[in-house]
Structure 1
């Protein structure tokens, strides 16, 4: 599904943030991405989402070399990826329900075909009573759960989650982890960037550890 070969990235004329990073993400796999603050985890996720291009090396996403694909193909490829950003990126003028259903609406689906799925998912993440709330009145943890629900609603082929449990309590973190595992069981490849060792210890999954711009993998 994803292949990195000797990827390097630098911003401007600065030193390389990532150096000689090579790995692959198989379909239906589950992995954690971890490492100290500033190691480059968010940068790596942005490369996976194709919102950054590498300075050198090869990145192949769904069999496409991102250095050579036409810009018009990027939106279609990104629709196959669900992503949870640390800054949530919710639309403040839309309700919780509307934010979560937006990816399906953008695809041209009728609301009647997805309304029940959105409501059920919001109940699962503990937001069944916040369906009509607007993002500005939500807590940080509630916004995070809305962002997670939005990323999951269309059952993407690949899920990228940047610290998805960082603003929730331990019981909710465990519940969200079960949701990620269920999505994985249904066929989605999952990459979770996290500092939470306790969360990682709950799953026997591959660990990708970034340190000083380089990646080590423990199966």
Structure 2
């Protein structure tokens, strides 16, 4: 069983939300605002769905949460820090506290399942002996213990999705962002993935799932953040 380990040793930090948005707006260039007046918190250990019609800005909002975009206006405080004031060189360290599962998986096809999951740790310069067993155990946890040495082209859509999830989890993030994680799988696999996210949440990670799947959302009594025309409504 994986054990969640917070990335911070400052216990007072737990009294604050992981991420705070206040009157956030975003536009590209001189165009209209894509996101407008977003104000919300992401509490520690929370579970929420992000939904809304296509083109509403869900993926853009996930990018703001991941700190790969800067807001045009307003305040975003991530892990207690104003992201507009953080030196660019320090952002990668903060992003390590956030795992993200992209809709298109973004697996490297010449790397095995094991190598794709281990890649974030290899990039950080960690020695394989320090993480090999963790990667193997995590792959067993997501049901891929027998697919460790398989290349992505051989994997099914559901298996690729679980590899992407395992890669997002290997650095033990405090937040997991998942962009349409069940969009390419059948209903039984969608339920299995949802169970995986719920178990991860029980271990302490805050989870935000962007989805159009109303049937999936109906299976969990969780907060819903509905994005429409760039504005956010929240239902607890």
TM-score, normalising length: structure 2: 0.87
Q: Distance in 1 between matches of 2:79 and 2:228?
A: 27
Q: Secondary structure at the match of 2:176?
A: strand
Q: Residues of 2 paired with 1:178 and 1:139: CA distance?
A: 19
Q: Please report how far the alpha carbon of residue 108 of structure 1 lies from its aligned counterpart in structure 2 after TM superposition.
A: 4.1
Alignment: residue pair count: 219
Could you tell me which of 162, 165, 170 is aligned with 1:145? 162
Q: Deviations over 1:155-184 (max 9, x none)?
A: 210100001111112222111111111111
Contact 2:26 2:33 in 1 (8 A): yes
Contact 1:155 1:183 in 2 (8 A): no
Change (3 A) 1:211 1:178: same
What's 2:57 paired with?
40
Would you say the 8 A contact 2:178–2:208 is kept in 1? yes
User: 2:96, 2:171 within 8 Å by CA — same for their partners in 1?
Assistant: no
Are residue 52 (structure 1) and residue 69 (structure 2) matched? yes
Deviation at 1:41, TM superposition (A): 0.3
Q: Distance in 1 between matches of 2:181 and 2:100?
A: 10
TM-score of the superposition, structure 1-length normalised? Answer: 0.93
Match of 2:181 in 1: 164
Equivalent of 1:120, from 118, 130, 137? 137
Assess if the C-alpha contact under 8 Å between 1:96 and 1:135 holds in 2: yes
Alpha-carbon distance, 1:25 to partner: 0.5
Query: What are the ranges of 5 or more consecutive residues in structure 1 without an aligned counterpart?
Result: none
**CA gap 1:3/1:72 in 2 versus in 1, 3 angstroms:** same
Task: After TM superposition, list the pairs within 5 Å mapping 1:8-157 onto structure 2.
Answer: 8-157=25-174
* 112-121 or 206-215, which deviates more: 112-121
CA RMSD, 1 decimal: 1.6
Distance 2:138 2:188 in 1: 17
What SS does the aligned partner of 1:155 have? coil
Task: Report the equivalent of 1:202.
Answer: 219
Q: For residues 120 and 169 of structure 1, what CA distance do their matches in structure 2 show? A: 25
- Matched with 1:3 is 20
